Structure 1
Amino acid sequence: MKRWLPFIKSNPRVAVVRLSGAIGMAGRGSLSDATIGPILEKAFRKGKPDAVALEINSPGGSPVQSSLIGARIRRLAEETDTKVYAFVEDVAASGGYWLAAAADEIWADESSVVGSIGVISAGFGAHEFLARYGIERRVYTAGKSKSMLDPFRPEQEEDVARLKELLEDIHANFKDHVSERRKGKLPEDQDLFTGEIWLARRATQLGLIDGVAHIRPKMQEIFGEKVSFRRYGIRRPLFQRFGVQLVQDALTGIEERAEFARFGL
């Protein structure tokens, strides 16, 4: 109530948004712009917070969704003139670091994993398995590249070359984003875009983050002991926890565990 009464100074308030899990397409239970976008809008606009803090724990995922969420954070920060702080928990790698880089400052725990500024594409080849069991696959396309990287046929050199070209283009977008957001903080004599990961103290030395700190003490250091926090998160209706949604959540959980496992988590 004090925030709306004239001549009474209210205590500083920080809006907190949790960005947790693998980043993927909307509707699959993953972190996406469609699911987190409305939450970010509320966090930045409701009650005019003094800052927005992002709690990040993500091994990455979709480059497009990472870009969409990061762009929304920057747009809202500029429209509301609000400073954004990112706090990394277990990991902010790949797309997770893309989200962190959207903040004005990045802080992490000493053991947080940061980086993996690269792009990966993985698949499998099953054509020998099909041949061994006498299974014939029939595919008809219009457009010679329509069946590019089909896992049920032998790998084609031209397909691999085309995929690598696409990956390099996405990697360039990632590098541009990090270079712009961490401008003046990154060393000019070291390539940080190799996909390598670092713990927080080394990441601080490299300019990828601003230091080691946790959300409450850091916000109290900046805004004072009386700073308050308002948390915003995704609320799922009870009925979504049953039936098909329960199965979908289980599958998404397996995918997320695989992503986190890449970083020993």
Structure 2
Amino acid sequence: MDNQEKDNSQHPTDSAHWERSVLEKLAFAALDEQKATRRWGIFFKSLMFAYILVLLGVAVYPKLKLDKNSSGEHTAVINLVGMIAEGKDANAADLIESLRNAVKDEHTKGIIIHANSPGGSPVQSAYVYDEIRKIKKEHPQLPIYAVVSDVCASGCYYIASATDKIFVNPASLIGSIGVLMDGFGFVDAMKNLGVERRLLTAGAHKAMLDPFSPPKEDETAYMKELLGQVHQQFISAVKLGRGNRLKETPDMFSGLVWTGEAGVKNGIADDFSDDDKVARDIIGAEKRVDFTQQEALIDKLAGKLGASFEHALSNVLQTPSLR
């Protein structure tokens, strides 16, 4: 057999070996690609999982946001914004914790309470008022100022009156030193609809001011006396906080509000300024750091549900309010 015949006889085997080699390479390449795809898939899933964990952590425990940029002397700012009530953004627990955190920070040179609130719960307001008075007694060298933007009325003014000074804009609204209790009466509407009220109580005044029953003179007088007591507590707190700066007039504690300009004249405010100027020119620490306590998202959602129930209940029970 010559060389040409030998080559022809070996060709089928070599061809089969080459094809098998190519198939093996393709198979291994496919496996490698699948492995790489799985690795990248695991990587991106892990990254997404970590991202979700961080978001949940921040939502549930906002204190994980540790960067307050509080190095060096600064002015601590605490926002008192919105209705003052438990479960609201402006509530005593968060405001008090904000104040305490600001005081604990060794770089805090002064505190600004940025006020923009129509008021709210007298109890919540009193808690914050007492905390400010306590801080002033324990840290007399640390100034605490209230800076009013649009409005600081009723419960908000209750709190502001505890600070060292109150700064306003000439167009701010400030004051409303009074107490109210509101509700509705449906007696005539029920008569027109032919609805009979059936109410059973144990205790002569258990259904006091029931909106579906006619008002009773003795119960109305009692509630007015109760409101008068809360009002007197409010007045006493303002007088204690403001001292001889108040230029008392017959209508000062009547529930009226004044512009910032009039407020400076009658002594319920001290001067005109804003956050930036108070921090820079009065406290002497231009850098401002926000110490406002942020409520956890889950707690906030729960609070919203609770607040909705409380609001509906207060309309029936007619809870006193500084607003």
Structure 1 gap ranges (5+): 1-9, 254-262
Match of 1:16 in 2: 77
Is 1:31 aligned to residue 86 of structure 2?
no
CA distance in 1, matches of 2:265, 2:170: 13
Residues 119 and 195, structure 1, Cα contact 8 Å, conserved in 2: yes
What secondary structure is seen at the aligned counterpart in 1 of 2:261?
helix
Residues 169 and 272, structure 2, Cα contact 8 Å, conserved in 1: yes
Match of 1:201 in 2: 261
Is 1:233 aligned to residue 286 of structure 2?
no
CA deviation vs aligned residue, 1:90-142 (integer Å, no higher than 9, x gap): 10001111111111100011211001111111110012222222222322222
Residues 186 and 207, structure 1, Cα contact 8 Å, conserved in 2: yes
Q: 1:20 to 1:188 in 2, by over 3 A?
A: closer
Q: 1:218 to 1:163 in 2, by over 3 A?
A: same
Moved runs in structure 1, 4+ residues, more than 4 A? 238-242, 244-253
CA distance in 1, matches of 2:308, 2:293: 18
Q: 1:206 to 1:245 in 2, by over 3 A?
A: closer
What is the identity percentage for the equivalent residue pairs of Structure 1 and Structure 2?
33
Q: 1:148 to 1:132 in 2, by over 3 A?
A: same
What secondary structure is seen at the aligned counterpart in 1 of 2:108?
coil
Match of 2:99 in 1: 40
Q: 1:136 to 1:189 in 2, by over 3 A?
A: closer
Amino acid at match of 1:235: Q
- Alignment RMSD: 2.5
Pairwise CA distance, 1:166: 0.7
Greater helix content: 2
What secondary structure is seen at the aligned counterpart in 2 of 1:182?
helix
- In the superposition, the TM-score normalised over structure 2's length comes to 0.68
What secondary structure is seen at the aligned counterpart in 2 of 1:53?
strand
Structure 2 gap ranges (5+): 1-70, 312-322
CA distance in 2, matches of 1:252, 1:162: 23
Match of 2:119 in 1: 60
Match of 1:171 in 2: 231
Is 1:107 aligned to residue 167 of structure 2?
yes
Which stretch has the larger CA shift, 176-185 or 42-51? 42-51
- In the superposition, the TM-score normalised over structure 1's length comes to 0.82
CA distance in 1, matches of 2:205, 2:191: 23
Match of 2:22 in 1: none
Q: Which of the two has higher C-alpha Rg?
A: 2
Is 1:137 aligned to residue 197 of structure 2?
yes
Superposition pairs of residues 84-163 of structure 1, within 5 angstroms: 84-163=144-223
CA distance in 1, matches of 2:304, 2:254: 37
Q: How many residues align?
A: 241
Residues 29 and 252, structure 1, Cα contact 8 Å, conserved in 2: no
CA distance in 2, matches of 1:11, 1:222: 17
